[in-house]
Amino acid sequence: MIYLGLIGYPLGHSLSPKLHHAALRYCDLQGEYSLFPIEPDDLQRLKGVLDRLRSREITGLNVTIPHKQNVIQFLDELTPTVYSIGAVNTIYLRNDTLIGDNTDTPGFLADLKNFLAEFSFPVLGDGIGVREKKALVLGAGGSARAVVYALLKDSWNVILAARRIDQAQQLLDLFTNYQLQIADFTLMNIELSTITLIVNTTPVGMSPHPDQSPWPENLPFPQQAAIYDLVYNPCETKLVKDARAQGLSAITGRGMLIEQAALAFQLWTGKHVPREIMSSAIEAS
């Protein structure tokens, strides 16, 4: 029996159980995927759930807001990606060693490339009309770390806009060898016309508050920019709606959710699951 789960808070919006139950069925594996809502300061309960993984009562865990950094202190080993970004979203046991990994980074980059290729964005090609790969990332939490790292490794110049300047500065200190800048969250000190991609890594706009957006009110989006909102519930966020209303290409983080889930499932079980299987599970819901 395979026991999987997700640590985070709140978790009422999560589609992860549907994704992983579909994966278990596809692979003909008996198992369960449970939610472990743990409040931000309840480190004792957080450690307790990780101890259940260490004792093999649980097979594998996902981690989401606000514990992507909190869990690190309880782990034995971190993958190179986690060392680089300081955030964990997947945990598994190997030879009695509790390992923290991050499938958000490759999951985001894979889905982003699919998105940009689908809309034939000029940042992907060569010749006339090609624009600079310049991204504006909103937020500086655990998800932002994965996204910023993925973009920087893919040769993007990144501007980070966050309400908490201390968090943004931590990212700047992590990536001193890359093209990373910090901007005010009002975006008033940014030349928006040069932005090719906007990525929201904050939870603003997530259900049950779908009427909210992280983008400043009455501020037009950069012309010809692509919009990527990591929030996937609701299926069309206000940020995405507003961007599409301005004629821009915009998607939510559903594809990233599927990519990172499939990669995590493979780490836990050794089984490859077609992305279409997980996508169908979401569509059915």
Confidence of residue 285 (pLDDT cuts 50, 70, 90): low
Tell me the pLDDT tens digit for each residue of 243-281. 999 999 999 999 999 999 999 999 999 999 999 999 999
Instruction: Give the residues across from 36 on adjacent strands.
Output: 7
Tell me which of 43-47, 183-187, 230-234 is least confident: 183-187
Asked if pLDDT for residue 185 goes beyond 50, the answer is yes
Does the reported pTM lie above 0.75?
yes
Catalytic status, residue 68: yes
pLDDT tens readout for residues 2-13: 999 999 999 987
What is the Cα–Cα distance from 162 to 274, expressed in whole angstroms? Answer: 35
Of 261, 217, 222, 248, nearest to 60 (Cα)? 261
What is the predicted pLDDT for the residue at 259? Answer: 97
- 174-178: long-range pairs with CB below 8 Å, 24+: 174/84, 174/85, 174/86, 174/145, 175/148, 175/149, 178/152
Percent pLDDT > 90 in the chain is: 80
The set of residues, in sequence order, having a beta carbon less than 8 Å from that of 276 and lying 6+ positions away, is none
What confidence tier does 188 reach under pLDDT thresholds 50, 70, 90? Answer: confident
Contact 277, 28 (CB under 8 A): no
125 has pLDDT over 70: no
- Which letter, b or e, does each residue of 116-128 get, where b requires 16 or more Cβ atoms within 10 Å of its Cβ? beeeebeeeeeee
Domains belonging to the chain, first-starting first, are 2-102+256-284 (3.40.50.10860), 106-253 (3.40.50.720)
The tens digit of pLDDT for each residue in 214-234 reads: 999 989 999 989 999 999 989
Nearest of 107, 105, 34, 23 to residue 278 by alpha carbon: 23
Is it the case that residue 112 has pLDDT exceeding 80?
yes
User: Tokens 């978790």 — which residue?
Assistant: 11
Catalytic pick among 18, 47, 68, 113: 68
Model pLDDT, residue 127: 45
